[in-house]
């Protein structure tokens, strides 16, 4: 992977050259991992045109040596990390220095600036450049190894859900099911759930981001289960909706609408299509069922090292999809006091269409 990490840093440098940036201070852990392979939770990476250094503290000396397989040099510092980074870039020749504007607090940015200027008159012409999404844009296009990692994470979550569906029955508590899903994902090799597992039944299923509660499942209820695993650092994300009993016609119609909306969005997935057009494809189907007002979120999101990343498949997202994007497609309909239905699968965008990575059975689940 060494060459892979260095290649990623080279692509960041191309972006830096275009923006006439001499140094980039990377502080977001997922971005540091993506560029270097370092997985410690404390670090700052300084990428310059001809060198890259990872600042971290003594707790990570061994880990940094083991994980930094590319040309990035570790630099162990005592005391404040950003102070050390600021002093280092302050001593150097860099005039335009980028930082991750969406990942740094105002206090951190001030600390960095103060340290860079400490003990010397403000260097003429030094500029701090607020960079947004530079590395995230690179991360949105996955290489073959990353796609394989998400594929495995998706298979694990799918297998675990299939197993636990056998325990979904009236009387069991939502949080028992969530614990069972988390436990089995860990047993299957996951570092943990990719987010707090959702099991929402009855009227609670109308809350798209409900937490699993101590409520017990009852007959004739809808149950939304939304879960994912982190495996080899990559996330998966999938949702199925169960009906406890034989679903009445109204529920079947809602389920059919969501399933057709998902299929239409998947059908539209290919390089070059605008993200908002994928969202629009799902929305159009729901409009045909007169359910567009019940669809209260966007159609999907990218996933990879983090559970939500670029590209976003929602309204007002004109950016074009690229081969190598991995996205969820997850339309849903929600009715206050009644419940909700959501279906979510993960897809890798390839040259000629989408590959489904999740493997759970489809169709309405009547248990
Ligand atoms: Zn989800
Ligand atoms: Zn999702």
Torsion of CA 119, 120, 121, 122, to 10 degrees: -90
Ligand 1 centroid to residue 79 C-alpha, Å: 39
Three-state secondary structure readout of 224-277: EEEECEEECCEECCEEEEEECCCCCHHHHHHHHHHHHHHHHHHHHCCCCCEHHH
pLDDT bracket for residue 2 (50, 70, 90):
very low
3-state secondary structure of 95: coil
Q: For the residues of 335-356, what is the DSSP string, one character each?
A: ETTTEEEE-BEEEEEETTEEEE
Closest-approaching ligand to the CA atom of 328: 2
Ligand 2 centroid to residue 228 C-alpha, Å: 9
Q: Give residue 120's pLDDT.
A: 59
Q: Does the model's pTM come out above 0.85?
A: yes
Exposure b/e, 179-202, CB count within 10 A at least 16 = b: ebbbebbeebebeebbbebbbbbb
- Residues lining ligand 1 (ion), CB within 5 A? 226, 237, 344
Q: What is the pLDDT of residues 294-353, one digit of tens each?
A: 999 999 999 999 999 999 999 999 999 999 999 999 999 999 999 999 999 999 999 989
- Nearest residue to 90 via CA among 123, 44, 130: 123
Beta bridge partners of 52: 47
Ligand 1 centroid to residue 236 C-alpha, Å: 8
pLDDT bracket for residue 79 (50, 70, 90):
confident
Whether the bond between 99 and the residue before it is cis, its omega within 30 degrees of 0, is no
Distance from the first to the final alpha carbon of the chain: 45
* Rounded mean pLDDT, 153-178: 98
Pairing of strands 300-302, 339-342: unpaired
- Token representation of residue 250: 């109204």
Q: What is the pLDDT of residues 241-294, one digit of tens each?
A: 999 999 999 999 999 999 999 999 999 999 999 999 999 999 999 999 999 999
Phi, psi (deg, nearest 5) at residue 301: -155, 155
Q: Kindly report the average pLDDT of the chain as a whole number.
A: 95
Matching residue, tokens 């987010």: 195
For residue 156, the Cα-to-chain-centroid distance in whole angstroms is 17
Ligand 1 centroid to residue 359 C-alpha, Å: 15
Ligand 1 centroid to residue 311 C-alpha, Å: 15
Ligand 1 centroid to residue 88 C-alpha, Å: 42
Ligand 2 centroid to residue 338 C-alpha, Å: 22
Closest-approaching ligand to the CA atom of 225: 1
Phi, psi (deg, nearest 5) at residue 296: -105, 10
Closest-approaching ligand to the CA atom of 297: 2
3-state secondary structure of 296: coil
Q: Give residue 352's pLDDT.
A: 87
Ligand 1 centroid to residue 257 C-alpha, Å: 19
- Residues of the chain with pLDDT > 70, as a percent, come to 98
Ligand 2 centroid to residue 154 C-alpha, Å: 12
């Amino acid at each position: 992977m060494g060459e892979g990490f260095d290649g990623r840093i080279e692509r960041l440098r191309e972006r830096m050259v275009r923006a006439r940036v001499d140094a980039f201070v990377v502080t977001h852990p997922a971005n540091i991992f993506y560029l270097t392979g370092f997985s410690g939770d404390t670090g700052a990476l300084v990428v310059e045109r001809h060198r890259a250094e990872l600042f971290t503290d003594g707790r990570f000396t061994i880990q940094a040596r083991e994980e930094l397989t590319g040309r990035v040099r570790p630099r162990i510092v005592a005391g404040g990390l950003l102070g050390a980074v600021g002093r280092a870039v302050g001593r150097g020749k860099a005039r335009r220095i980028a930082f991750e504007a969406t990942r740094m607090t105002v206090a951190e940015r001030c600390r960095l600036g103060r340290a860079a200027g400490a003990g010397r008159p403000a260097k003429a012409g030094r500029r701090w450049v607020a960079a947004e999404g530079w590395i995230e844009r690179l991360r949105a296009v996955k290489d073959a190894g990353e796609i394989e990692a998400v594929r495995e994470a998706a298979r694990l979550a799918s297998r675990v859900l299939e197993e636990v569906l056998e325990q979904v029955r009236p009387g069991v508590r939502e949080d028992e099911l969530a614990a069972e899903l988390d436990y089995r994902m860990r047993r299957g090799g996951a570092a943990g759930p990719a987010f707090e597992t959702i099991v929402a039944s009855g009227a609670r299923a109308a809350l798209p981001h409900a937490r699993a509660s101590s409520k017990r499942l009852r007959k004739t209820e809808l149950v939304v289960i939304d879960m994912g695993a982190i495996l080899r650092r990559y996330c998966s994300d999938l949702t199925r909706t169960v009906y406890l009993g034989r679903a009445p016609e109204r529920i079947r119609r809602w389920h059919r609408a969501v399933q057709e909306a998902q299929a239409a969005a998947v059908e539209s997935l290919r390089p070059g299509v605008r993200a908002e057009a994928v969202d629009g494809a799902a929305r159009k189907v729901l409009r045909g069922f007169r359910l567009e007002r019940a669809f209260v979120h966007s159609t999907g999101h990218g996933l990879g090292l983090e559970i939500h990343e670029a590209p976003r498949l929602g309204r007002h997202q004109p950016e074009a999809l690229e081969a190598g994007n991995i996205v969820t497609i997850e339309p849903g309909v929600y009715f206050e006091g009644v419940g909700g239905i959501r279906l979510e699968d993960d897809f890798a965008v390839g040259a000629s269409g989408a590959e489904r990575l999740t493997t759970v059975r489809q169709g309405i689940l009547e248990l």
